[in-house]
A and B are shown apart, each in its own frame.
Chain A
Amino acid sequence: MTDIIQRSPAIPVVSGIVDPIRAGRKAGWYMKSATEFKGGEVLEADVLIIGTGAGGGTSAEIFAKAGLKVLMIEEGPLKSSDDFKMDERDAYHDLYQESAGRMSKDGAMSILQGRGVGGTTVINWTSSFRTPAPTLKHWAKEFGVEGMSPEEMAPWFAQMEERLGVAKWEMEPNNNNAVLRDGAEKLGVHWETIPRNVRGCWNLGYCGTGCPTNAKQSMLVTTIPSALEKGAKLVYSARVERLIIEGRKVLGAEIVALDENYQPTLVRLLAKAPQVILAAGAINGPALMLRSKAPDPHKRIGKRAFFHPTTFTFAEFEHFIDPYYGAPQSVHSDHYQWQGITDAVGFKLEVPPLHPGLTSVLLMGHGIQHFQDMQKLPHLHSMIALLRDGFHPQSEGGQIELAGDGTPIIDYEINDYLWDGVKRSWLAMVEIQFAAGAKAVRIAHNDSPWYNNLEKAKAGIASLSSRSNSFTAGSAHCMGGLAMGEDQNRCLVDSYGKYHHLDNLHVFDGSVFPTSIGANPQLSIYGMVCRNATLLAQKILA
């Protein structure tokens, strides 16, 4: 213990960073909290965008550049680099849905989802993959998605990669990611370097608490400022309670201002525009559509909700891992991902950063065992497997429902089909961890001890129970709920994001994915929205 306390690794001081949002405020950008209004105002624009994450941010820049009057409405607060202190306390409260305490209905899956201007792009770990070709082909075949072949999508991805500085990480991976690289290399498991959306990254390791240096090319520092410079308006701390729908048209949106504690105030506003873009994410978007009683003849709103249910294993090493420092994700493996497209569930292997608050939750359990595990932190490595849900008849996804007050409930179950993948993923990960030289490994399961060799770990995994809440299942990727496709019996939006049953509502975010992506979804959202928003802007101006 004492050697740990006395350690003082070289940690840089972060200074000299210009906060682009504070600079923009001085330059006169239109950015207002809904609480600044008296109430009763009607805000008008050519295009109303609900949500400012990957989908809303990308759309805003494209419409503003096209010369259209854009109004962005964001439920969360406006926080920017001067607010980002690399402190889990502020970050979870300010930047995460439900203070990072969001979970599925049965409590078994913890969901990390962003909240605030820039959405999840402000707190994600920067991994930027194009939508895998097998996923796009599956959508065309199974859901009748048109015009989104890998070849047709390539220029849209290229455009957004250029816009957001996406490139393979050139620095040495941190020790946490090196475990995946080294173990995979020893076993002959294919691995690759992760492309990241960063420019001038300091390699600090705090992508998840809001990038303190503005190196991460989130919507907060790229498309949103660009739209604001062109005269777009942003109203934050503004929850859209209901879309006002008449026949096949959205007439406007009813907004309530939220106070600093995110509680509704008495200030209510109305927003109106001939074109409405829903980009509120895969949980809050379907919930808004349900609250608004949007036309839904086949009762599909909220269905096919996917999460890449994520499993965890921990490994203890002799040497320091310092899993909280350095670019959080730089190595991945798709070795187990595409062995069959529609057979047993495939999974992608990555590594999560381990900051103490989050780690304490992932470790599960209580008492002396939990405390001893926490004390391993500087020597602790964790690996994650993201299960590719939605490609098999036994993986139809979960469902977004409404609580009594109209807020979302996420009903998602790890069924037998997924449980098979959970066990295979644990095995694959501990094999790699031991190959990389781990002293001992532990499954993120209440009943798992530390195993000091692979044989014991294999036997242990075979005996672990599938009971809900007995193992860590996480998700940082919320997808689906408003499925895209030309088959109207199963799908709600067409291949251009237009809602089938409304004339002026487009859904431009990850809620339209008819399956999970099979990779971290941000670039899938950017590319698809870049295409769909560009085509819609052309149509509006034609």
Chain B
Amino acid sequence: MLTLSTSRRGFMQLGATSMAVLSLGAGFASLSGCSKAPAQTGYKILRAGDLEFFAAIAPVILSGGYPSSLSTEAAQARLLHELDNLISTLQDYAQSQLIMLLDVVQSAPLRVAMDAQWASWKDASAADIESFLQGWKTSKIPIKRMGYGSLCKLITMCWYKQPETFALSGYPGMPKKINLSA
């Protein structure tokens, strides 16, 4: 059983080990009531904080690929609903891992450990987000690398299958299909 330490030093010591950081984070998150939040209206799984987090990191992950020919608002809505749909069909293990990951990134101790000056993801700068992503990508802790990989895979998959992005990749698109019964 982990002893939860709310001091900055305590958290950073834990972060330096290969312990199950996500479980720890989930512990913090449930203390703060975060993981008990219901899904946002109109969404199946994702909660307000999750949507804010994904909306913040998407432009950094997708770079020049975002928002493509869509308005920022439309791009955000499209991406977030696609993410929600996909995540809702993940089975128990993958889905719960992902929810824990989302709890961790929204927990105050994570921000403290990152020396983050911002109070919520929507206030984070692109540079802050880039350094968060790089940190997880190159981490010695397997579960952080898994977190980085999962976030990138989910966001890029949900984005580049949208027809509005085809012109960006140079994909001329799929053949037209006309059904007899249509």
Residue of A nearest to B177 (CB): A14
| Contact digits for A318-351, partner B, Cβ 8 Å, 1 yes 0 no | 0000101000000000000000000000000000
In the bound complex, residues from chain A placing their C-beta under 8 Å from that of B174 are 11, 85-87, 206
From B30-38, B61-69, B112-120, the one touching the partner chain is B61-69
Given the complex of chains A and B, what is the CA–CA distance between A485 and B171 in angstroms?
Answer: 48
* B147-166 residues at the A interface, CB under 8 angstroms: 148-150, 152-154, 156-162, 165-166
Asked whether any CB of chain A lies closer than 8 Å to the CB of B123, the reply is: no
Given the complex of chains A and B, what is the CA–CA distance between A414 and B78 in angstroms?
Answer: 35
| Contact digits for A73-109, partner B, Cβ 8 Å, 1 yes 0 no | 0000000001011111100110000111111011110
Q: Are A11 and B92 in contact (CB under 8 A)?
A: no
Q: Are B171 and A89 in contact (CB under 8 A)?
A: no
In the bound complex, residues from chain A placing their C-beta under 8 Å from that of B44 are 261
Q: Are B146 and A108 in contact (CB under 8 A)?
A: yes
Q: Are A446 and B177 in contact (CB under 8 A)?
A: no
Q: Are B161 and A357 in contact (CB under 8 A)?
A: yes
Asked whether any CB of chain A lies closer than 8 Å to the CB of B70, the reply is: no
Given the complex of chains A and B, what is the CA–CA distance between A15 and B178 in angstroms?
Answer: 5
Asked whether any CB of chain A lies closer than 8 Å to the CB of B85, the reply is: yes
In the bound complex, residues from chain A placing their C-beta under 8 Å from that of B156 are 357, 360-361, 363, 366, 370
Asked whether any CB of chain A lies closer than 8 Å to the CB of B124, the reply is: no
Q: Are B149 and A107 in contact (CB under 8 A)?
A: yes
Q: Which of the residues B82, B93, B169 comes within 8 Å of A407, measured between beta carbons?
A: B93
Q: Are B181 and A261 in contact (CB under 8 A)?
A: no
Q: Are B93 and A101 in contact (CB under 8 A)?
A: no
Q: A11-B175, A99-B86 are in contact. Are A468 and B63 (CB under 8 A)?
A: no
Given the complex of chains A and B, what is the CA–CA distance between A280 and B59 in angstroms?
Answer: 40
Given the complex of chains A and B, what is the CA–CA distance between A469 and B148 in angstroms?
Answer: 9
Q: Are B153 and A110 in contact (CB under 8 A)?
A: yes
Q: Are A101 and B154 in contact (CB under 8 A)?
A: yes
Residue of A nearest to B176 (CB): A13
Q: Are A370 and B177 in contact (CB under 8 A)?
A: no
Q: Are B165 and A101 in contact (CB under 8 A)?
A: no
Q: Are A374 and B169 in contact (CB under 8 A)?
A: yes
Given the complex of chains A and B, what is the CA–CA distance between A88 and B93 in angstroms?
Answer: 24
Residues of A in contact (CB 8 Å), total 73
In the bound complex, residues from chain A placing their C-beta under 8 Å from that of B165 are 356
Given the complex of chains A and B, what is the CA–CA distance between A383 and B171 in angstroms?
Answer: 19
Interface of B is mostly: helix
Given the complex of chains A and B, what is the CA–CA distance between A15 and B180 in angstroms?
Answer: 7
In the bound complex, residues from chain B placing their C-beta under 8 Å from that of A158 are none
Given the complex of chains A and B, what is the CA–CA distance between A357 and B157 in angstroms?
Answer: 5
Q: Are A470 and B159 in contact (CB under 8 A)?
A: no
Asked whether any CB of chain A lies closer than 8 Å to the CB of B51, the reply is: no
Q: Are A371 and B175 in contact (CB under 8 A)?
A: no
Asked whether any CB of chain A lies closer than 8 Å to the CB of B91, the reply is: yes
Q: A407-B92, A469-B142 are in contact. Are A360 and B157 (CB under 8 A)?
A: yes
* A355-371 residues at the B interface, CB under 8 angstroms: 355-361, 363-368, 370-371
Scoring A82, A99, A322, A364 by chain B CB atoms within 10 A of each residue's CB, the highest score goes to A99
Interface residues on B, range: 35 or more
In the bound complex, residues from chain B placing their C-beta under 8 Å from that of A206 are 174-175
Q: Are B168 and A374 in contact (CB under 8 A)?
A: yes
Asked whether any CB of chain A lies closer than 8 Å to the CB of B89, the reply is: yes
Q: Are A375 and B168 in contact (CB under 8 A)?
A: yes
Given the complex of chains A and B, what is the CA–CA distance between A364 and B162 in angstroms?
Answer: 18
Q: Are B137 and A446 in contact (CB under 8 A)?
A: yes
Asked whether any CB of chain A lies closer than 8 Å to the CB of B173, the reply is: yes
In the bound complex, residues from chain B placing their C-beta under 8 Å from that of A357 are 156-158, 160-161
Q: Which of the residues B89, B152, B178 comes within 8 Å of A99, measured between beta carbons?
A: B89
Q: Are A378 and B93 in contact (CB under 8 A)?
A: no
Tell me, rounded to whole Å, the shortest Cβ–Cβ distance linking B77 to chain A: 15
In the bound complex, residues from chain B placing their C-beta under 8 Å from that of A88 are 161
Q: Are A98 and B94 in contact (CB under 8 A)?
A: yes
Tell me, rounded to whole Å, the shortest Cβ–Cβ distance linking A225 to chain B: 17
In the bound complex, residues from chain B placing their C-beta under 8 Å from that of A468 are 142, 145-146
Q: Are B152 and A17 in contact (CB under 8 A)?
A: no
Asked whether any CB of chain A lies closer than 8 Å to the CB of B133, the reply is: yes
Asked whether any CB of chain B lies closer than 8 Å to the CB of A200, the reply is: no
In the bound complex, residues from chain B placing their C-beta under 8 Å from that of A281 are none
Q: Are A86 and B175 in contact (CB under 8 A)?
A: yes
| Contact digits for A9-21, partner B, Cβ 8 Å, 1 yes 0 no | 1011111111100
Given the complex of chains A and B, what is the CA–CA distance between A89 and B63 in angstroms?
Answer: 22
In the bound complex, residues from chain B placing their C-beta under 8 Å from that of A13 are 175-178
Given the complex of chains A and B, what is the CA–CA distance between A366 and B132 in angstroms?
Answer: 12
Asked whether any CB of chain A lies closer than 8 Å to the CB of B179, the reply is: yes
Asked whether any CB of chain B lies closer than 8 Å to the CB of A22, the reply is: yes
Apart from A84-B177, A99-B90: 16 A-B pairs, beta carbons within 8 A? A11-B174, A14-B177, A17-B179, A82-B181, A89-B161, A92-B161, A99-B85, A101-B154, A102-B94, A110-B153, A261-B89, A367-B130, A368-B63, A371-B63, A403-B91, A408-B91
Q: Which residues of B contact A (CB under 8 A)?
A: 44, 60-65, 82, 85-86, 88-94, 96-97, 130, 133, 137, 142, 145-146, 148-150, 152-154, 156-162, 165-182
* 23 pairs, CB–CB < 8 Å, chain A vs chain B: A13-B175, A14-B176, A14-B177, A16-B180, A82-B180, A89-B161, A101-B154, A106-B142, A107-B150, A357-B157, A357-B158, A357-B161, A361-B156, A363-B156, A365-B152, A370-B156, A374-B65, A377-B169, A378-B172, A403-B91, A467-B142, A467-B145, A468-B145
